[in-house]
Amino acid sequence: MASVGEKLPRINHDDEVFALMHKILSSPIHTVYGEDLEKIYQLNVEITPNEISKLTEKMRRMFLEQPVLLTIGNDPITVVADMHGQSIHLLRILLSCEAPPAQKFLFLGDYVDRGSQSIVVICLLFCLKHRYPHHVFLLRGNHEDINTTLNYGFYDECLDQWRSEEIGETMWKTFIETFNCMPLAAVIGGKVFCSHGGISPWMDTIEDINSVKINNAICLVKRSFSVQIERPLVVPPYGLACDLLWSDPSQPEKNGWGLSHRGISFTYGKSVVDEFCAKNDISLMIRGHQLFKEMYPQGSVIRFGGRLISLFSALNYEGHRNNSSVLKLDFSGSRVKVKQILYRCRHYAPLKNHEILACRDMKLAKQQEKRRGSRMDSVIGKI
Q: Which residues of 292-305 are buried (b: 16+ CB within 10 A; e: fewer)?
A: eeebbebbbbebbe
Single out the residue of 96, 119, 131, 163 nearest to residue 27, CA to CA.
119
The helix (H) or strand (E) run that includes residue 302 is strand 300-303
User: Is the Cβ–Cβ distance between 289 and 197 less than 8 Å?
Assistant: yes
Q: Of the residues 22, 130, 134, 143, which is catalytic?
A: 143
Secondary structure of residue 363 in the 3-state scheme: helix
Rounded-to-integer distance, Cα 139 and Cα 247, Å: 15
User: Is the Cβ–Cβ distance between 22 and 15 less than 8 Å?
Assistant: no
Rounded-to-integer distance, Cα 128 and Cα 320, Å: 29
Q: Which long-range contacts (CB under 8 A, 24 or more apart) does 91-98 make?
A: 91/25, 91/43, 91/357, 91/380, 92/343, 93/313, 93/326, 93/343, 94/380, 95/357, 95/380, 95/381, 95/382, 96/341, 97/326, 97/328, 97/341
Single out the residue of 59, 57, 56 nearest to residue 129, CA to CA.
59
262 phi-psi bin (left φ>0, alpha ψ -120 to 50, beta other): alpha
Respond yes or no: is residue 143 known to be catalytic.
yes
Rounded-to-integer distance, Cα 135 and Cα 265, Å: 31
User: Is the Cβ–Cβ distance between 89 and 343 less than 8 Å?
Assistant: yes
Rounded-to-integer distance, Cα 104 and Cα 97, Å: 10
Rounded-to-integer distance, Cα 307 and Cα 279, Å: 14
Q: Report which DSSP code applies to 296.
A: T
Terminal CA-CA length for the chain: 42
Phi, psi of 301 (to 5 degrees): -145, 140
Phi, psi of 200 (to 5 degrees): -145, 145
Catalytic site residues? 143
